[in-house]
Amino acid sequence: MVYLCFNTRVNVNYIDSLLIFQMQSSEMALSSAPSETNNVRTIVARRYYVKHSIVPFEEDATHEFKGHANICIEDIPNYCVNAGASSKRSRQPISKTLNGFINTGEGGTVYCGILDSGSVKGIKLIQYKKDHYVASVDDCMGRFNPPVDKSRYEVRFIPVVEPNSSQAEISAICSYDSRKGVSLESRRREHLLRSQNYCWCDKESIALFNNNVIAPSYIIEICIKPWAECASMKNSSSLVNILSPYHEDEEGLCYFRRQASVVQYSLCEMIQFTRQDVQDYFKEKIKKLEEQLKMIIVSGNKIL
Ligand SMILES: [Zn+2]
């Protein structure tokens, strides 16, 4: 199997092909590449997903599946925006979930390329498209109010392998480096963000496809770190660093992750939550101080 340049033309439009999937269950969707150790070299084990298989976890408070990779509101195609009285979108931007993960403070991961059913679909990406998504997530986090520090999140591209791939094929896919042969200068071109129109990197992908070059598939994992982890890195006991901050998304809205969905809260509710967080934080400290005070009073009485 030639991974990047096989000559089978898929008889559909490239972009449409990203949306195509087949349901096929498998015992394990997420695994690690085989580690081959001998006297000459060691292949480092890496994670990968198996196409059409079902991942061994469900959507919950810290996991969200997305069959698309529309990061912000402007990326949502017109056909997903209903013109009805409710103006409700049939597709939600990923920023909404990221905002929920950040505001809840527990962190979480969005998996772009995994369907709601948990079936692995994958998204075909050349290096330029990977760069595009990293830039898009950075842009999205920079638009939140206040902006989200880069230390709070991470974008990972985990390879997707075909079912029944051999260990040699899996190792080859997992060790494939899409940066090779791509100059840094060409990667510095500015991407078209906040738009549903094709970026130059989309046109590059289509041109490659038309030349029978099919890009590898990946699951894009956008990982939000728990606030406690980030606060401990700052090594600060300041109240501002201990309590998870709240951020507005690019539409000025605040979301929280509640089980497997996001819930929007009003400003009044946010103030209420902040008060409760502060009360909870000081509750234990006040209790300890009261106990210490009681002991001091008892000791004082004994002396008298
Ligand atoms: Zn681009």
E-state strands within 99-164? 108-112, 123-124, 153-161
Give me the amino acid identity at 16: D
Distance 201 CA to ligand 1 centre (A): 4
Distance 105 CA to ligand 1 centre (A): 31
* Residues near 172 by beta carbon (within 8 Å), at least 6 away in sequence: 3
Residues 232-280 have pLDDT tens digits of 666 566 666 678 889 999 999 999 999 999 999 998 998 898 888 888 8
Which residue ranges make up each domain of the chain? 14-265, 267-304
How would you label 221-237 residue by residue, b for 16+ Cβ within 10 Å and e otherwise?
bbbbbbbeebbeeeeee
> How many whole angstroms separate alpha carbon 36 and alpha carbon 97?
38
Residue entry with tokens 């990779």: 69
Residues 135-193 have pLDDT tens digits of 999 999 999 999 999 999 999 999 999 999 999 999 999 999 999 999 999 999 999 99
Distance 192 CA to ligand 1 centre (A): 5
> How many whole angstroms separate alpha carbon 209 and alpha carbon 207?
5
Distance 15 CA to ligand 1 centre (A): 14
Distance 252 CA to ligand 1 centre (A): 25
Alpha carbon distance, N-terminus to C-terminus of the chain: 90
Distance 204 CA to ligand 1 centre (A): 9
Residue 229's pLDDT band, with cuts at 50, 70 and 90, is confident
* Residues near 75 by beta carbon (within 8 Å), at least 6 away in sequence: 93, 136, 194, 195, 196
More confident residue, 161 or 40: 161
Residues 79-138 have pLDDT tens digits of 887 655 566 778 999 999 999 999 999 999 999 999 999 999 999 999 999 999 999 999
Instruction: Supply the pLDDT for residue 13.
Output: 29
